[in-house]
Amino acid sequence: MRRNPVPAPRSALRRAPGGEPSASRPKSTASIDAGSLPWIPGNPVWSPTSRRPAARPEVAGRARIPSTEEATILATGFTALTPRRVRRPAMALAGIIALGAASAPAARAGEEEGGKVTISGSLDWYYQYSFNHPPRNPGGAEVGGRAFDIKNDQFALSLVEINVNRTPSKAFPVGLTLTGTVGKTADLVHATEPGTKTVRFLQQLYGTYTTTGGTPVTIDVGKFVTHHGFEVIESATNWNYSGSLLFTWAIPFYHMGIRLSAPLSSQLTAGVHFVNGWNNVEDDNSGKSIGAQLNWKPTSALNLILNYMGGDEFTGAALPANLNTHLFDLAAVWSLNDRLKLGFNADYATAAKTGVGGGNWSGQAFYARYQLSASQALALRLEHFEDSDGLRTGVAQNLNEITATWEHVWRQNLITRLEFRHDHAGTAWFPSGSGGKRSQETLTLSQVVKF
């Protein structure tokens, strides 16, 4: 098998609107042929239905819902004569928008019965400059070791996202979560997906049912983002713009399967997961992976989350062989006061199989965020990642990085960030205009528009 304001650890349990995890829910000693392995994000070596309104008095006067084809033309300006390579992502996004539009009448009806449909989205772009002056690599990575900010000296569209969420109602007690995505980030998240790559347009799609009785159990079935880590795919929720080393290399991005969560007390919530594996909608072996989570919030200021996942992993996890993998992940957030928050993330994983070899990887990340004013904040991240057997990066090495980020939020909808990051590797691993280098410095301007 294979490898989401103040952000908090990624959680399979439902997250509160502000990003903090809620107790209610919610990446060997064996020889490696780099050329035979799938590309991993950031690696410079592996470049990876209704009647007419007039006949229905209750809907007379409402705007007609456009067809998918009409929505495509209205939303993108593209027609059947537009080149296919341009139309496909646009049509995927337009289809999601059309689904959201079609859900609006259902939303009003649902609200009357206790359900509610909400639609939101965002657009994420950046301009990044690497002081290594790496050569152009169209379609591939130019900045090494990064999750999604891989382009240099150019404007880059990272992610366009549409979210549709329906809460359960008495008439229909099943909720629905849909996250549609288009952009380079969507491609990179699904870089090692063994099945069809069209799944990149759906970051999440799952149904939710909560049992009734003494202890409610929330059951999610479908495709959902991982419960591991401090950071999430959407940069606006994180404290820094660029993804951490641990987010990029130590943990998976998403899973396909079923997960259950239930409160054990007012402070402790537990969850279990049964999934195909790391980063795979379509499984690539006969095994399954088991996950678990404990989410403890002893006070309003402190939140600790312990995660686990184990099972046979292969191409989805971007491993060189079908290895039995065990991943342990700890994430914590501590609010010292209204202005200062601290964060911590640690990962340890082993991967091995008789006759194949294997190894381990580990890392730690320290975070700090200081709110200068209602609209401005500073964030600092310092981390270390050990890939002593080369199972994640393809090279036996240690990676270190430090990131400083200034943030300005305008009317809660436009997030502008200016970020400096220094990376260091144990080998000449980062691309430059004169060959590989051990270090890399970047300056990044980014904006996220939320709607």
- pLDDT at residue number 354: 78
| 396 belongs to a structural domain | yes
The 3-state DSSP class for residue 304 equals strand
pLDDT band of residue 1 (cuts 50, 70, 90) is: very low
- pLDDT at residue number 88: 58
As a whole number, mean pLDDT of residues 292-300 equals 98
The CA R_g of the chain, rounded to the nearest whole Å, is: 22
| 15 belongs to a structural domain | no
pTM above 0.85, yes or no: no
Q: Which residue has the higher pLDDT, 78 or 250?
A: 250
Q: pLDDT tens digit string along 53-88? A: 333 333 334 344 444 444 444 444 554 444 555 455
- Those residues whose C-beta lies under 8 Å from the C-beta of residue 52, and which sit 6 or more positions away, are none
Q: pLDDT tens digit string along 271-287? A: 999 999 999 999 988 88
| 368 belongs to a structural domain | yes
Mean pLDDT check: name the lowest of 91-100, 208-217, 239-248, 322-331: 91-100
- Pairing of the two strands 340-353 and 202-210: unpaired
- Percent of the chain having pLDDT more than 90? 68
Nearest of 8, 391, 27, 448 to residue 241 by alpha carbon = 448
Residue 342: CATH number of its domain: 2.40.160.10
pLDDT band of residue 294 (cuts 50, 70, 90) is: very high
Number of domains in the chain: 1
Look-up of token digits 């795979």: 280
How deeply is 15 buried, as exposed, middle or buried, from its count of CB atoms within 10 A (0-12, 13-18, 19+)?
buried
- pLDDT at residue number 336: 98
As a whole number, mean pLDDT of residues 332-336 equals 98
- pLDDT at residue number 58: 35
| 434 belongs to a structural domain | yes
pLDDT band of residue 429 (cuts 50, 70, 90) is: very high
DSSP 273-293: EEES-SS-SS-SSS--EEEEE
Instruction: Give Cα separations from 327 to 249, 289, 331 (angstroms).
Output: 12, 11, 13
Mean pLDDT check: name the lowest of 125-134, 245-254, 264-273, 318-327: 318-327
| 11 belongs to a structural domain | no
| 383 belongs to a structural domain | yes
Residue-number span of the structural domain to which 200 is assigned: 34-48+65-450
Q: pLDDT tens digit string along 173-232? A: 999 999 999 999 999 999 999 999 899 999 999 999 999 888 999 999 999 999 999 999
| 4 belongs to a structural domain | no
Q: Which of 91-95's residues contact partners 24+ apart within 8 Å by CB, and which partners? A: 92/180, 92/182, 92/198, 92/201, 93/160, 93/162, 93/180, 93/182, 93/201, 94/68, 95/68, 95/71
Check the CA dihedral 292-300-168-224 and report its sign.
negative
- pLDDT at residue number 321: 86
- Percent of the chain having pLDDT more than 70? 75
- pLDDT at residue number 96: 53
Q: pLDDT tens digit string along 400-418? A: 999 999 999 999 999 999 9
- pLDDT at residue number 8: 46
Does residue 241 register a pLDDT over 80?
yes
| Per-residue three-class SS string for 216-254 | CCEEEEEEEECCCCCCCCCHHHCCCCCCCHHHHHHCCCE
* Cα separation, 95 vs 63, whole angstroms: 18
Contact call for residues 402 and 422 (beta carbons, < 8 A): yes
Contact call for residues 7 and 365 (beta carbons, < 8 A): no
- pLDDT at residue number 91: 57
pLDDT band of residue 351 (cuts 50, 70, 90) is: very high
Q: pLDDT tens digit string along 100-142? A: 545 445 444 444 455 799 999 999 999 999 999 999 999 999 9
How deeply is 145 buried, as exposed, middle or buried, from its count of CB atoms within 10 A (0-12, 13-18, 19+)?
buried
| 53 belongs to a structural domain | no
Q: Which two tokens stand for residue 73?
A: 């033309």
* Cα separation, 417 vs 409, whole angstroms: 9
Q: Which two tokens stand for residue 78?
A: 């593209």
Residue 414 corresponds to which amino acid? Answer: L
- pLDDT at residue number 212: 86
DSSP 106-175: HHHHHHHTT-EEEEEEEEEEEEEEETT-PPP-TTS-SSTT-SS----SEEEEEEEEEEEEEE--SS---E
- pLDDT at residue number 169: 86
**Most confident region among 1-5, 141-145, 351-355 by mean pLDDT:** 141-145
- Mean per-residue pLDDT of the chain: 83
CA angle 287, 290, 291 (to 5 degrees): 150
